[in-house]
């Protein structure tokens, strides 16, 4: 069984693409090297190009950590550094993707949230966050809603149950958008429902990231498509020397009839619901919405779907009105590498900087920019109780070591760091002062902030915020609390290794 799994990995599409990619790169760099050995003028040109590139990199409005790593790479190998940056460092996405995927005035008319007058009349503890509310509406065109109820789902198993229940209620359409979809019990159960619904005449639209579909069998793809499920793949992997291969769709969205919507960190795979064990117990979470705010999730999906499918859709036909008793205020939002706006990072920074009592964070990866680390340190030094929960069992060893490299400075400032000893924390949640919270797909790392398509839910004055906070406290009892002594006892060689990895953190 183990040998079969290894063979499957060796012939997997991502590995084949990676081999072809590195072969192309090797041939290109070898060609450049051979030419420069015989043409001194060409050698001089590439070296000058690298130095000019360093000046361009340092003058770009970009993350300083990203600028640092590329400056080091270019100056360390000046012959190839400029070429490598032009190929991979610009973070450029295809023009078609940039044009189609920016959520701008094309979608704004379809999203009708609270009016400015209604916002001004909100309770003071909500108006405290007016700047954040305004930022999300003005920059990514997602308004704030009432007339929406919410339910917190503390584990993947809970999300799976509720997802199946809501899918079975579909009468008009089902919209699914996921990063990872792989064969197993979870997919079999969901696909059976999708096939049954498609046969009943329900429209089923399904978008999967092509990288995340590495473990999705051709048999399952055919089964879904033959049943009438419109399955599309985002950014298909190609053996191409193109940086946009690094832009992945990391969102996890489930919408039914514009009535129900589910967002969270849980993909479609058996480890997410603890049917199988990969890195110990998998701790994840999600939020189920019912009501007006689901329209924002519908528009997020349709914007992605129209790009990947090359089909035009009538947005209004999907925005079926549905209201229910309001539970606070809900503001869904998305983040895209196409608009030069780091929405996920901005949301996190705003929440941290505005905290007065407590900050509770769950994240699988903690790769902090200088600004983010300073914000957390300043909050802790200002008397805010900052608690950060990360995995104890890592899924990516190098990223885990980078996460641990931040412990010393955070602990000195008074931040509490907890590692979830039963296994892996995959939840992406931040709760501030037990009165506002965000939950979604955004990790606290460079990839989520700058390279991936992400989404999340902002909750204001909602009763489930306390439920989320209680779940955090409950989970904290299963964690080991990191102490300064733990950091001091780290072997010096491991400290050096972590320091080196941190230099390259933005490309891990």
Tell the burial category of 128 from Cβ atoms under 10 Å away from its Cβ (0-12, 13-18, 19+): middle
Distance, first Cα to last Cα, the chain = 30
What is the number of other CB atoms lying within 10 angstroms of the CB of residue 286? 28
Catalytic residue among 159, 197, 252, 360: 252
Cα separation values, 442 from 155, 172, 325, 449, Å = 17, 30, 28, 7
Question: In the annotation, is 428 catalytic?
Answer: yes
- DSSP per position, 401-417: HHHHHTHHHHHHHT-EE
Question: In the annotation, is 445 catalytic?
Answer: no
**Tokens found for residue 117:** 């007058």
Nearest to 301 by CA among 455, 413, 156, 76: 455
What are residue 424's DSSP bridge partners?
282
Question: In the annotation, is 426 catalytic?
Answer: yes
Q: Locate all alpha helices (DSSP H) within 269-342, ordered by sequence.
A: 294-309, 315-318
Residue 282, helix vs strand vs coil: strand
Catalytic residue among 220, 360, 428, 452: 428
Catalytic residue among 210, 257, 327, 335: 257
Q: Which pairs count as long-range contacts for 487-494, CB under 8 Å and 24+ apart, including other chains? A: 487/407, 487/408, 487/411, 490/404, 494/401
- In whole angstroms, what is the distance from residue 410 CA to residue 508 CA? 21
Tell me if 380 sits within 8 A of 415, measured CB to CB: yes
What are residue 262's DSSP bridge partners?
254, 288
Catalytic residue among 433, 445, 452, 471: 433
Tell me if 464 sits within 8 A of 287, measured CB to CB: yes
- In whole angstroms, what is the distance from residue 24 CA to residue 26 CA? 5
Tell me if 379 sits within 8 A of 386, measured CB to CB: yes
Catalytic residue among 159, 220, 250, 259: 250
Cα separation values, 165 from 161, 260, 292, Å = 6, 11, 20
Tell me if 319 sits within 8 A of 110, measured CB to CB: yes
- In whole angstroms, what is the distance from residue 353 CA to residue 318 CA? 38
- DSSP per position, 96-154: HHHHHHS-STTTGGG-----HHHHHTS-HHHHTTHHHHHHHHHHH----B-SEEEEEE-
Q: Which residues of 21-52 are buried (b: 16+ CB within 10 A; e: fewer)?
A: beeebeeeeeebeeebeeeeeebeebeebbee
- In whole angstroms, what is the distance from residue 137 CA to residue 118 CA? 14
Question: In the annotation, is 257 catalytic?
Answer: yes
* Cα dihedral value 83, 88, 92, 94, nearest 10: 100
Q: Give the residue numbers marked as catalytic.
A: 250, 252, 257, 426, 428, 433
């Amino acid at each position: 069984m183990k040998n079969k799994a290894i063979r499957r990995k060796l012939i997997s599409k991502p590995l084949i693409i990676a081999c072809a990619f590195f072969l192309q790169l090797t041939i290109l760099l070898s060609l450049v090297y051979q030419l420069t050995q015989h043409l001194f003028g060409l050698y001089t040109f590439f070296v000058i190009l690298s130095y000019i590139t360093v000046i361009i990199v340092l003058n770009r409005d970009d993350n300083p950590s990203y600028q640092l790593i590329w400056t080091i790479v270019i100056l360390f190998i000046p012959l190839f550094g400029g070429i490598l940056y032009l190929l991979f460092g610009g973070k450029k996405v295809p023009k078609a993707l940039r044009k189609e995927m920016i959520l701008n005035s094309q979608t704004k008319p379809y999203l009708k949230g609270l009016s400015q007058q209604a916002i001004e009349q909100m309770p003071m503890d909500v108006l405290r966050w007016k700047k954040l509310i305004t930022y999300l509406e003005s920059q990514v065109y997602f308004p704030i809603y009432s007339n929406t109820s919410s339910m917190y789902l503390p584990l993947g198993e809970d999300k799976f149950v509720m997802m199946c229940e809501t899918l079975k209620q579909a009468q008009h359409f089902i919209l699914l958008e996921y990063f990872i979809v792989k064969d197993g019990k979870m997919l079999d159960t969901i696909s059976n429902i999708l096939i049954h619904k498609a046969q009943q005449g329900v429209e089923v639209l399904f978008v999967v990231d092509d990288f995340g579909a590495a473990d999705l069998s051709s048999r399952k793809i055919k089964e879904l498509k033959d049943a009438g499920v419109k399955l599309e793949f985002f950014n298909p992997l190609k053996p191409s020397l193109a940086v946009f291969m690094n832009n992945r769709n990391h969102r996890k969205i489930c919408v039914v009839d514009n009535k129900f919507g589910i967002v969270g960190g849980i993909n479609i795979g058996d480890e997410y619901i603890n049917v199988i064990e990969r890195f110990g117990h998998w701790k994840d979470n999600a939020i189920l919405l019912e009501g007006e705010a689901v329209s924002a999730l519908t528009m997020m999906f349709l914007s992605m779907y129209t790009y990947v499918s090359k089909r035009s859709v009538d947005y209004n036909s999907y925005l079926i009105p549905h209201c229910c008793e309001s539970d606070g205020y809900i503001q869904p939002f998305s983040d895209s590498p196409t608009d030069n706006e780091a929405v996920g990072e901005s949301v996190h920074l705003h929440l941290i900087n505005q905290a007065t009592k407590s900050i509770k964070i769950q994240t699988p990866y903690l790769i902090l920019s200088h600004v983010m680390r300073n914000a957390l340190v300043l909050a802790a030094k200002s008397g805010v109780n900052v608690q950060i929960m990360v995995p104890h069992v890592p899924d990516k060893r190098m990223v885990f070591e980078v996460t641990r490299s931040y412990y010393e400075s955070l602990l000195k400032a008074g931040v509490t760091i907890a590692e979830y000893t039963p296994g892996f924390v995959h939840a992406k949640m931040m709760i501030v002062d037990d009165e506002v919270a965000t939950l979604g797909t955004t990790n606290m790392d460079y990839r989520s902030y700058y390279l991936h398509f992400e989404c999340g839910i902002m909750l204001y004055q909602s009763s489930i915020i306390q439920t989320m906070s209680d779940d955090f406290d409950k989970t904290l009892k299963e964690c080991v609390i990191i102490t300064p002594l733990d950091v001091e006892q780290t072997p010096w060689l491991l400290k050096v290794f972590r320091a080196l990895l941190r230099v390259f953190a933005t490309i891990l």
